[in-house]
Amino acid sequence: MRISIVIFDDFTDIDLFLMWDLFNRVRLPEWDVRIVGEKSHHISATGLITATHGPIEDANQSDVVLFVSGRGTRTKIHDKLWLSRFNLNPERQMIASVCSGALLLAALGLLAGKTATTYPTTKQLLEGFGITVEEKPFIAHGNIATSGGCLAAQYVAGWVIEKKADKEWKDLVLKSIQPVGEGLKFSDAPELMKLYGPSAKVSVV
Amino acid sequence: MRISIVIFDDFTDIDLFLMWDLFNRVRLPEWDVRIVGEKSHHISATGLITATHGPIEDANQSDVVLFVSGRGTRTKIHDKLWLSRFNLNPERQMIASVCSGALLLAALGLLAGKTATTYPTTKQLLEGFGITVEEKPFIAHGNIATSGGCLAAQYVAGWVIEKKADKEWKDLVLKSIQPVGEGLKFSDAPELMKLYGPSAKVSVV
Protein backbone atom coordinates (compact mmCIF):
# COMPACT_ATOMS: atom_id res chain seq x y z
CA MET A 1 0.00 0.00 0.00
CA ARG A 2 1.91 3.00 -1.28
CA ILE A 3 0.83 6.61 -0.84
CA SER A 4 2.62 9.25 -2.92
CA ILE A 5 2.30 12.94 -2.09
CA VAL A 6 3.25 15.08 -5.08
CA ILE A 7 5.14 18.32 -4.41
CA PHE A 8 6.77 21.05 -6.54
CA ASP A 9 8.49 24.35 -5.82
CA ASP A 10 6.35 26.92 -3.98
CA PHE A 11 4.10 24.35 -2.32
CA THR A 12 2.06 25.33 0.73
CA ASP A 13 3.89 23.99 3.77
CA ILE A 14 1.02 22.87 5.93
CA ASP A 15 -0.80 21.06 3.13
CA LEU A 16 2.13 18.71 2.71
CA PHE A 17 3.20 18.32 6.32
CA LEU A 18 -0.27 17.76 7.81
CA MET A 19 -1.02 14.88 5.43
CA TRP A 20 2.51 13.52 5.76
CA ASP A 21 2.28 13.44 9.56
CA LEU A 22 -1.21 11.90 9.61
CA PHE A 23 -0.36 9.11 7.15
CA ASN A 24 2.81 8.28 9.07
CA ARG A 25 0.73 7.59 12.19
CA VAL A 26 -0.77 4.47 10.60
CA ARG A 27 1.26 1.50 11.84
CA LEU A 28 0.79 -1.20 9.27
CA PRO A 29 3.84 -3.07 7.93
CA GLU A 30 2.98 -2.55 4.26
CA TRP A 31 2.11 1.12 4.71
CA ASP A 32 4.54 3.18 2.59
CA VAL A 33 4.23 6.98 2.44
CA ARG A 34 6.53 8.97 0.19
CA ILE A 35 6.99 12.49 -1.09
CA VAL A 36 7.59 12.64 -4.83
CA GLY A 37 8.63 15.44 -7.18
CA GLU A 38 10.69 16.31 -10.24
CA LYS A 39 13.75 17.31 -8.20
CA SER A 40 15.70 15.82 -5.32
CA HIS A 41 14.50 18.76 -3.19
CA HIS A 42 11.69 21.27 -3.50
CA ILE A 43 11.40 24.62 -1.77
CA SER A 44 8.16 25.41 0.04
CA ALA A 45 6.27 28.70 -0.15
CA THR A 46 8.02 29.81 3.04
CA GLY A 47 11.48 28.67 1.93
CA LEU A 48 11.77 25.28 3.64
CA ILE A 49 13.87 22.82 1.66
CA THR A 50 12.13 19.45 1.50
CA ALA A 51 13.71 16.29 0.11
CA THR A 52 11.71 14.00 -2.15
CA HIS A 53 11.80 10.23 -1.79
CA GLY A 54 11.39 9.52 -5.49
CA PRO A 55 10.47 10.85 -8.93
CA ILE A 56 7.02 11.79 -10.19
CA GLU A 57 6.71 8.43 -11.93
CA ASP A 58 6.46 6.76 -8.50
CA ALA A 59 2.96 8.24 -8.33
CA ASN A 60 1.91 6.13 -11.30
CA GLN A 61 2.75 2.95 -9.35
CA SER A 62 1.04 4.09 -6.14
CA ASP A 63 -2.28 3.06 -4.66
CA VAL A 64 -2.97 6.62 -3.51
CA VAL A 65 -1.80 9.87 -5.16
CA LEU A 66 -2.23 13.20 -3.39
CA PHE A 67 -1.57 16.66 -4.79
CA VAL A 68 -0.68 19.50 -2.44
CA SER A 69 -1.26 23.18 -3.17
CA GLY A 70 0.65 26.42 -3.48
CA ARG A 71 1.60 29.09 -5.97
CA GLY A 72 3.57 26.43 -7.83
CA THR A 73 0.29 24.98 -9.15
CA ARG A 74 -0.10 28.09 -11.37
CA THR A 75 3.11 27.13 -13.16
CA LYS A 76 2.50 23.41 -13.23
CA ILE A 77 -0.91 23.57 -14.92
CA HIS A 78 0.93 24.98 -17.96
CA ASP A 79 3.93 22.61 -17.76
CA LYS A 80 3.04 20.02 -20.39
CA LEU A 81 6.22 18.02 -19.90
CA TRP A 82 5.56 17.75 -16.16
CA LEU A 83 1.90 16.82 -16.66
CA SER A 84 2.84 14.20 -19.29
CA ARG A 85 4.89 12.28 -16.72
CA PHE A 86 1.72 11.32 -14.87
CA ASN A 87 -0.16 8.23 -15.93
CA LEU A 88 -2.85 8.00 -13.28
CA ASN A 89 -5.89 5.78 -13.34
CA PRO A 90 -8.84 6.34 -10.99
CA GLU A 91 -10.00 2.80 -11.70
CA ARG A 92 -7.10 1.46 -9.64
CA GLN A 93 -5.88 4.53 -7.70
CA MET A 94 -7.35 6.90 -5.12
CA ILE A 95 -6.46 10.42 -6.25
CA ALA A 96 -7.07 13.59 -4.25
CA SER A 97 -6.05 17.22 -3.85
CA VAL A 98 -5.80 19.86 -1.15
CA CYS A 99 -6.71 23.49 -1.98
CA SER A 100 -5.22 24.61 -5.31
CA GLY A 101 -4.00 21.07 -5.95
CA ALA A 102 -7.44 20.73 -7.60
CA LEU A 103 -6.02 22.78 -10.50
CA LEU A 104 -3.57 19.95 -11.16
CA LEU A 105 -6.32 17.32 -11.12
CA ALA A 106 -8.21 19.50 -13.59
CA ALA A 107 -5.16 19.97 -15.82
CA LEU A 108 -4.73 16.19 -15.86
CA GLY A 109 -8.35 15.81 -17.01
CA LEU A 110 -9.35 13.97 -13.85
CA LEU A 111 -12.20 16.31 -12.87
CA ALA A 112 -14.07 16.29 -16.21
CA GLY A 113 -17.81 16.18 -15.54
CA LYS A 114 -17.31 16.28 -11.76
CA THR A 115 -17.97 18.88 -9.09
CA ALA A 116 -14.97 19.92 -7.00
CA THR A 117 -13.77 22.22 -4.23
CA THR A 118 -10.64 24.30 -3.81
CA TYR A 119 -9.21 27.26 -1.89
CA PRO A 120 -11.26 30.49 -2.13
CA THR A 121 -8.52 32.32 -4.04
CA THR A 122 -8.42 29.67 -6.77
CA LYS A 123 -12.16 29.14 -7.29
CA GLN A 124 -12.24 31.20 -10.50
CA LEU A 125 -9.19 29.54 -11.95
CA LEU A 126 -10.69 26.10 -11.34
CA GLU A 127 -13.98 27.20 -12.89
CA GLY A 128 -11.90 28.17 -15.93
CA PHE A 129 -11.45 24.46 -16.54
CA GLY A 130 -15.23 24.15 -16.92
CA ILE A 131 -15.66 22.63 -13.47
CA THR A 132 -18.54 23.39 -11.12
CA VAL A 133 -16.97 24.43 -7.82
CA GLU A 134 -18.95 23.85 -4.62
CA GLU A 135 -18.40 25.56 -1.25
CA LYS A 136 -17.63 22.35 0.65
CA PRO A 137 -14.58 21.16 2.60
CA PHE A 138 -14.39 17.82 0.79
CA ILE A 139 -15.99 16.31 -2.29
CA ALA A 140 -15.43 12.72 -3.40
CA HIS A 141 -16.64 11.10 -6.60
CA GLY A 142 -15.62 7.46 -6.55
CA ASN A 143 -11.83 7.37 -6.32
CA ILE A 144 -11.31 11.09 -6.98
CA ALA A 145 -11.59 13.72 -4.25
CA THR A 146 -10.87 17.41 -3.76
CA SER A 147 -10.66 19.42 -0.53
CA GLY A 148 -10.60 23.12 0.26
CA GLY A 149 -8.88 24.86 3.20
CA CYS A 150 -5.65 23.52 4.68
CA LEU A 151 -7.24 21.74 7.64
CA ALA A 152 -9.60 19.93 5.26
CA ALA A 153 -6.57 17.75 4.52
CA GLN A 154 -7.93 15.81 7.50
CA TYR A 155 -10.89 14.76 5.34
CA VAL A 156 -8.53 13.54 2.64
CA ALA A 157 -6.45 11.59 5.14
CA GLY A 158 -9.56 10.13 6.74
CA TRP A 159 -10.99 9.11 3.36
CA VAL A 160 -7.78 7.29 2.46
CA ILE A 161 -7.08 5.70 5.83
CA GLU A 162 -10.62 4.34 6.20
CA LYS A 163 -10.45 2.75 2.74
CA LYS A 164 -6.85 1.48 2.85
CA ALA A 165 -6.60 0.59 6.56
CA ASP A 166 -9.95 0.67 8.39
CA LYS A 167 -12.33 2.97 10.28
CA GLU A 168 -10.62 2.26 13.59
CA TRP A 169 -7.28 3.55 12.27
CA LYS A 170 -8.99 6.55 10.69
CA ASP A 171 -10.76 7.53 13.91
CA LEU A 172 -7.65 7.06 16.05
CA VAL A 173 -5.30 8.96 13.72
CA LEU A 174 -7.67 11.91 13.32
CA LYS A 175 -8.39 12.00 17.05
CA SER A 176 -4.68 11.97 17.88
CA ILE A 177 -4.13 15.52 16.58
CA GLN A 178 -7.22 17.20 18.05
CA PRO A 179 -6.83 19.73 20.86
CA VAL A 180 -7.04 18.28 24.37
CA GLY A 181 -10.58 18.71 25.69
CA GLU A 182 -11.85 19.23 22.14
CA GLY A 183 -11.83 15.71 20.71
CA LEU A 184 -8.84 14.33 22.59
CA LYS A 185 -8.90 13.31 26.27
CA PHE A 186 -6.18 12.46 28.77
CA SER A 187 -7.92 9.09 29.18
CA ASP A 188 -7.13 8.36 25.51
CA ALA A 189 -3.45 7.87 26.41
CA PRO A 190 -3.44 4.02 26.39
CA GLU A 191 -5.19 3.90 23.01
CA LEU A 192 -2.78 6.50 21.58
CA MET A 193 0.18 4.23 22.34
CA LYS A 194 -0.98 2.18 19.33
CA LEU A 195 0.37 5.12 17.28
CA TYR A 196 3.42 5.96 19.38
CA GLY A 197 4.64 2.65 20.81
CA PRO A 198 8.29 1.50 20.59
CA SER A 199 8.05 0.44 16.95
CA ALA A 200 5.87 3.35 15.87
CA LYS A 201 7.01 5.49 12.98
CA VAL A 202 5.95 8.66 14.78
CA SER A 203 7.32 9.25 18.25
CA VAL A 204 5.21 10.07 21.27
CA VAL A 205 4.07 13.67 20.93
CA MET B 1 9.64 41.22 16.39
CA ARG B 2 11.42 37.88 16.34
CA ILE B 3 9.76 34.51 16.90
CA SER B 4 12.02 31.51 17.51
CA ILE B 5 10.69 27.96 17.28
CA VAL B 6 12.97 25.53 19.10
CA ILE B 7 13.45 22.08 17.57
CA PHE B 8 15.61 19.01 18.31
CA ASP B 9 15.95 15.53 16.86
CA ASP B 10 12.76 13.43 16.94
CA PHE B 11 10.41 16.40 16.97
CA THR B 12 6.75 15.93 15.98
CA ASP B 13 6.42 17.15 12.39
CA ILE B 14 3.04 18.81 12.51
CA ASP B 15 3.75 20.73 15.72
CA LEU B 16 6.59 22.58 14.04
CA PHE B 17 5.16 22.99 10.55
CA LEU B 18 1.69 24.17 11.59
CA MET B 19 3.08 27.00 13.74
CA TRP B 20 5.74 27.79 11.14
CA ASP B 21 3.17 28.12 8.37
CA LEU B 22 0.74 30.19 10.46
CA PHE B 23 3.38 32.66 11.65
CA ASN B 24 4.67 33.10 8.11
CA ARG B 25 1.23 34.29 7.00
CA VAL B 26 1.60 37.51 9.00
CA ARG B 27 2.81 40.18 6.60
CA LEU B 28 4.51 42.79 8.71
CA PRO B 29 7.94 44.07 7.70
CA GLU B 30 9.57 43.51 11.08
CA TRP B 31 8.04 40.02 11.49
CA ASP B 32 10.89 37.50 11.71
CA VAL B 33 10.18 33.79 12.23
CA ARG B 34 13.03 31.34 12.62
CA ILE B 35 13.64 27.73 13.50
CA VAL B 36 16.47 27.27 16.01
CA GLY B 37 18.31 24.22 17.31
CA GLU B 38 21.66 22.86 18.40
CA LYS B 39 22.52 21.51 14.93
CA SER B 40 22.39 22.84 11.38
CA HIS B 41 19.68 20.26 10.69
CA HIS B 42 17.37 18.20 12.85
CA ILE B 43 15.51 15.04 11.91
CA SER B 44 11.80 14.87 12.62
CA ALA B 45 9.98 11.91 14.16
CA THR B 46 9.08 10.72 10.65
CA GLY B 47 12.57 11.24 9.25
CA LEU B 48 12.25 14.63 7.54
CA ILE B 49 15.48 16.63 7.60
CA THR B 50 14.79 20.21 8.64
CA ALA B 51 17.37 22.99 8.53
CA THR B 52 17.65 25.44 11.41
CA HIS B 53 18.09 29.17 10.85
CA GLY B 54 20.24 29.71 13.90
CA PRO B 55 21.52 28.34 17.21
CA ILE B 56 19.57 27.89 20.43
CA GLU B 57 20.98 31.15 21.77
CA ASP B 58 18.87 33.04 19.22
CA ALA B 59 15.89 32.14 21.39
CA ASN B 60 17.33 34.21 24.22
CA GLN B 61 17.22 37.32 22.01
CA SER B 62 13.71 36.67 20.70
CA ASP B 63 10.41 38.28 21.62
CA VAL B 64 8.61 34.94 21.38
CA VAL B 65 10.02 31.46 22.08
CA LEU B 66 8.07 28.34 21.18
CA PHE B 67 8.89 24.74 22.03
CA VAL B 68 7.62 21.94 19.83
CA SER B 69 7.06 18.35 20.97
CA GLY B 70 8.21 14.85 20.19
CA ARG B 71 10.09 11.91 21.63
CA GLY B 72 13.19 14.12 21.66
CA THR B 73 11.79 15.98 24.67
CA ARG B 74 12.41 12.85 26.80
CA THR B 75 16.13 13.19 26.09
CA LYS B 76 16.30 16.96 26.31
CA ILE B 77 14.78 17.24 29.79
CA HIS B 78 17.90 15.40 31.03
CA ASP B 79 20.40 17.27 28.83
CA LYS B 80 21.80 19.81 31.27
CA LEU B 81 24.21 21.33 28.75
CA TRP B 82 21.37 21.90 26.29
CA LEU B 83 19.08 23.36 28.95
CA SER B 84 21.86 25.64 30.22
CA ARG B 85 22.07 27.37 26.84
CA PHE B 86 18.64 28.91 27.39
CA ASN B 87 18.38 32.20 29.22
CA LEU B 88 14.70 32.99 28.87
CA ASN B 89 12.79 35.66 30.73
CA PRO B 90 8.99 35.72 30.84
CA GLU B 91 9.13 39.35 31.92
CA ARG B 92 10.21 40.33 28.42
CA GLN B 93 9.40 37.24 26.34
CA MET B 94 6.28 35.27 25.43
CA ILE B 95 7.11 31.58 25.92
CA ALA B 96 4.89 28.66 24.94
CA SER B 97 4.83 24.94 24.19
CA VAL B 98 2.89 22.45 22.12
CA CYS B 99 2.14 18.97 23.54
CA SER B 100 5.23 17.45 25.22
CA GLY B 101 7.12 20.72 24.74
CA ALA B 102 5.64 21.49 28.17
CA LEU B 103 8.22 19.08 29.61
CA LEU B 104 10.94 21.45 28.39
CA LEU B 105 9.25 24.47 29.97
CA ALA B 106 9.05 22.47 33.20
CA ALA B 107 12.70 21.41 33.00
CA LEU B 108 13.64 25.06 32.52
CA GLY B 109 11.70 25.94 35.69
CA LEU B 110 9.22 28.09 33.81
CA LEU B 111 6.09 26.29 35.00
CA ALA B 112 6.80 26.40 38.75
CA GLY B 113 3.58 27.13 40.61
CA LYS B 114 1.53 27.18 37.41
CA THR B 115 -1.08 24.86 35.91
CA ALA B 116 -0.31 23.50 32.47
CA THR B 117 -1.53 21.21 29.71
CA THR B 118 0.24 18.68 27.50
CA TYR B 119 -0.38 15.64 25.28
CA PRO B 120 -2.29 12.76 26.96
CA THR B 121 0.71 10.41 26.79
CA THR B 122 2.95 12.87 28.67
CA LYS B 123 0.56 13.95 31.44
CA GLN B 124 2.19 11.74 34.07
CA LEU B 125 5.68 12.81 33.12
CA LEU B 126 4.71 16.49 33.41
CA GLU B 127 3.05 15.81 36.77
CA GLY B 128 6.39 14.36 37.84
CA PHE B 129 7.71 17.93 37.81
CA GLY B 130 5.14 18.82 40.48
CA ILE B 131 2.87 20.57 38.03
CA THR B 132 -0.93 20.40 38.09
CA VAL B 133 -2.00 19.31 34.60
CA GLU B 134 -5.45 20.37 33.39
CA GLU B 135 -7.44 18.80 30.54
CA LYS B 136 -7.58 21.95 28.41
CA PRO B 137 -6.34 22.75 24.89
CA PHE B 138 -4.53 25.93 25.97
CA ILE B 139 -3.52 27.48 29.28
CA ALA B 140 -1.84 30.89 29.56
CA HIS B 141 -0.45 32.47 32.71
CA GLY B 142 0.85 35.89 31.81
CA ASN B 143 3.59 35.42 29.23
CA ILE B 144 3.81 31.63 29.60
CA ALA B 145 1.46 29.24 27.84
CA THR B 146 1.10 25.52 27.21
CA SER B 147 -1.10 23.69 24.71
CA GLY B 148 -2.15 20.07 24.27
CA GLY B 149 -2.99 18.26 21.03
CA CYS B 150 -1.29 19.14 17.74
CA LEU B 151 -4.10 21.31 16.38
CA ALA B 152 -4.08 23.34 19.61
CA ALA B 153 -0.98 24.98 18.13
CA GLN B 154 -3.60 27.27 16.60
CA TYR B 155 -4.29 28.65 20.08
CA VAL B 156 -0.59 29.34 20.58
CA ALA B 157 -0.31 31.07 17.22
CA GLY B 158 -3.45 33.10 17.89
CA TRP B 159 -2.21 34.13 21.34
CA VAL B 160 1.08 35.38 19.89
CA ILE B 161 -0.30 37.02 16.75
CA GLU B 162 -3.00 38.93 18.65
CA LYS B 163 -0.43 40.28 21.10
CA LYS B 164 2.44 40.98 18.67
CA ALA B 165 0.38 42.01 15.61
CA ASP B 166 -3.32 42.57 16.34
CA LYS B 167 -6.67 40.77 16.53
CA GLU B 168 -7.38 41.40 12.87
CA TRP B 169 -4.23 39.53 11.81
CA LYS B 170 -4.99 36.76 14.29
CA ASP B 171 -8.52 36.25 13.00
CA LEU B 172 -7.47 36.34 9.35
CA VAL B 173 -4.52 33.96 9.75
CA LEU B 174 -6.51 31.41 11.73
CA LYS B 175 -9.45 31.65 9.33
CA SER B 176 -7.17 31.13 6.34
CA ILE B 177 -6.47 27.48 7.17
CA GLN B 178 -10.01 26.39 8.12
CA PRO B 179 -11.90 24.00 5.86
CA VAL B 180 -14.08 25.66 3.20
CA GLY B 181 -17.65 25.87 4.48
CA GLU B 182 -16.42 25.35 8.05
CA GLY B 183 -14.94 28.72 8.92
CA LEU B 184 -13.67 29.75 5.49
CA LYS B 185 -15.90 30.96 2.64
CA PHE B 186 -15.30 31.49 -1.06
CA SER B 187 -16.35 35.11 -0.46
CA ASP B 188 -13.29 35.51 1.82
CA ALA B 189 -11.02 35.46 -1.25
CA PRO B 190 -10.41 39.25 -1.46
CA GLU B 191 -9.54 39.46 2.24
CA LEU B 192 -7.23 36.43 1.97
CA MET B 193 -5.13 38.26 -0.63
CA LYS B 194 -3.76 40.27 2.29
CA LEU B 195 -1.90 37.06 3.18
CA TYR B 196 -1.08 35.86 -0.31
CA GLY B 197 -0.56 39.01 -2.40
CA PRO B 198 2.49 39.58 -4.62
CA SER B 199 4.81 40.43 -1.75
CA ALA B 200 3.40 37.87 0.67
CA LYS B 201 5.77 35.43 2.30
CA VAL B 202 3.34 32.57 1.76
CA SER B 203 2.06 31.97 -1.75
CA VAL B 204 -1.59 31.65 -2.69
CA VAL B 205 -2.79 28.26 -1.52
The pLDDT score that the predictor gives to residue B200 is 55
The per-residue pLDDT for range A142-184, each reduced to its tens digit, is 999 999 999 999 999 999 999 999 999 999 999 999 999 999 9
Band of pLDDT at residue A205, cut at 50, 70 and 90:
low
Of B128, B11, B154, B142, which is closest to residue B73 (Cα–Cα)? Answer: B11
The per-residue pLDDT for range B159-174, each reduced to its tens digit, is 999 999 999 999 999 9
Q: Average pLDDT of chain A?
A: 95
Non-local CB neighbours of B130 within 8 Å, separated by 6+ positions: B112
The per-residue pLDDT for range A86-127, each reduced to its tens digit, is 999 999 999 999 999 999 999 999 999 999 999 999 999 999
Band of pLDDT at residue A201, cut at 50, 70 and 90:
low
Asked if B44 and B28 count as a contact pair (C-beta separation under 8 A), the reply is no
**Segment among A31-40, A81-90, B122-131, B192-201 with least mean pLDDT:** B192-201
pLDDT at B73 over 80: yes
Question: Is A187 touching B (CB cutoff 8 A)?
Answer: yes
Q: Which chain A residues are within 8 Å of B120, Cβ to Cβ?
A: 180, 184-189, 192
ipTM for the whole predicted complex goes beyond 0.90? yes
Distances (CA, A) of A68 to A56, A71, A101, B1: 13, 10, 5, 31
Distances (CA, A) of A74 to A47, A97, A184, B66: 18, 14, 38, 34
The pLDDT score that the predictor gives to residue A197 is 67
Q: Can you spell out the DSSP letters for chain B?
A: -EEEEE--TTB-HHHHHHHHHHHTT---TT-EEEEE-SSSEEEBTTS-EEE-SB-THHHHT-SEEEE--STHHHHHTT-HHHHHT----TTT-EEEEETTHHHHHHHTTTTTT-EE---GGGHHHHHTTTPEE-S-SEEEETTEEEE-SGGGHHHHHHHHHHHHS-HHHHHHHHHTTSPBTTTB-GGGHHHHHHHHSTT-SSPP-
Query: Hey, of B74, B125, B180, which one would you mutate to test binding to chain A, going by the most A CBs within 10 A of its CB?
Result: B180
Backbone dihedral region of A45: left (phi > 0), alpha (psi from -120 to 50 degrees) or beta?
A: alpha
Question: Which of A17, A24, A205 is facing B17, going by the closest CB pair?
Answer: A17
Taking CB atoms and an 8 Å limit, are B117 and A180 in contact across chains?
Answer: yes
Q: Which chain B residues are within 8 Å of A205, Cβ to Cβ?
A: 12, 15, 45, 69-70, 99-100, 119, 121-122, 150
SS3 A79: coil
Of A14, A102, A22, A52, which is closest to residue B202 (Cα–Cα)? Answer: A14
Asked if B205 and A69 count as a contact pair (C-beta separation under 8 A), the reply is yes
